[in-house]
Amino acid sequence: MPHTRPPDPQAALDRLLAGNRRFVAETAQYPIPSAERIKLASGQAPFAVVIGCSDSRVPVETVFDQPPGNLFVARLAGNIVSDFCIASAEYAIEALQSMLVVVLGHSRCGAVRAAIDTIETGAEFPGHIQLLADALAPIAEQTRSAADWWEAAVERNVIAGKERILRQSAIVQTATANGTLAVVAAVYDLSTGLVNVVG
Ligand SMILES: [Zn+2]
C-alpha cells in the first residue's frame, strides 16, 4: 500500500497531508516491513520531492508519515532553494517521475531568524554561517512590517523558494505546464505538528 503511486499531483499532495494528520494524531504507519525495503533495493519511484530545512525538529518522512521510497528529500538550513536543490528536484522529476515538489519551511526557523537579526541589529555570524543569513536577508526584508516578522518571513521564504524553482527550472516549467507536476509552498508548525500549504 505505501508504494502505490498517487494518480496525479493533487492526489500526491493529499497523501502527504493525510500522512501529516496521522503524524499529529499519533496513528503513524511506520515502520515498513522488511519485504518493502528489499523491494526498494532494486529501484525507487518517489512521488514527491521535498526541499526542507536541516532543523532536527522537522524530519520530513516522519512529519508526512511516509516510508522509504516515497520522498526525494533535499535539506538545507533555511530550506534555501539552491541550484543543487533544483538539480536534485529535476533529477527526481526527470528520472524518477516525481509529481510534486514541496518547499517546506517551519515555524521558528533559526536560519530565517539569523537573517532578521542581520537586518535588525547588524548581527554577524562566524564562518560560512553568514552566507545563510545573507541569502535569506532580502526575503526577510520583504516582511519587515508584518505583525510577526519571524513568522511572516518563514512564509515568504517558502513562497520565494517555490517562485525560484518555477523561474529557474525549464524542467519544472514544462512538467507543470503539462499537468504532470505541481509545486507548493508549505510551513510546518513545530508546536502543533501540522503542515499548512501557504502557496
Ligand atoms: Zn529552519
Distance from Cα 177 to the centre of ligand 1, integer Å: 31
| Ligand 1 centroid – CA 149 distance (Å) | 15
How many whole angstroms from 146 Cα to the centroid of ligand 1?
19
Long-range contacts of 141-145 (CB under 8 A, 24+ apart): 144/119
Residue 180 cell numbers, joined: 504532470
> Given this model, what pLDDT does residue 196 score?
98
Say how many C-beta atoms besides its own lie within 10 A of residue 167's C-beta.
9
**Residue 3 confidence (pLDDT):** 64
Instruction: Quote the ligand 1 centre to 111 CA distance (angstroms).
Output: 6
Distance 7 CA to ligand 1 centre (A): 31
Could you tell me the distance, in angstroms and rounded to a whole number, from the CA of residue 38 to the centre of ligand 1? 33
Residue 37 pLDDT: 80
- What is the residue-level pLDDT of the chain in tens, covering all 199 positions? 456 899 999 999 999 999 999 999 988 886 677 788 888 899 999 999 999 999 999 999 999 999 889 999 999 999 999 999 999 999 999 999 999 999 999 999 999 999 999 999 999 999 999 999 999 999 999 999 999 999 999 999 999 999 999 999 999 999 999 999 999 999 999 999 999 999 9
Tell me how far the alpha carbon of residue 187 lies from the centroid of ligand 1, in angstroms: 10
State residue 1's pLDDT score.
44
Total residues found in the chain within this entry: 199
Distance 80 CA to ligand 1 centre (A): 10
188 φ, ψ (degrees, to nearest 5): -95, 130
Residue 152, exposed/middle/buried by CB under 10 A (0-12, 13-18, 19+)? middle
Q: Residue 112: what residue type? A: V
- Residue 42 Cα to ligand 1 midpoint, Å, equals 33
Single pTM value for the model: 0.92
Residue type, 39: K
- Angstrom distance (rounded) from CA 77 to CA 132: 8
CA of 53 to the centre of ligand 1 (A): 5
CA distance 69 to 61: 10
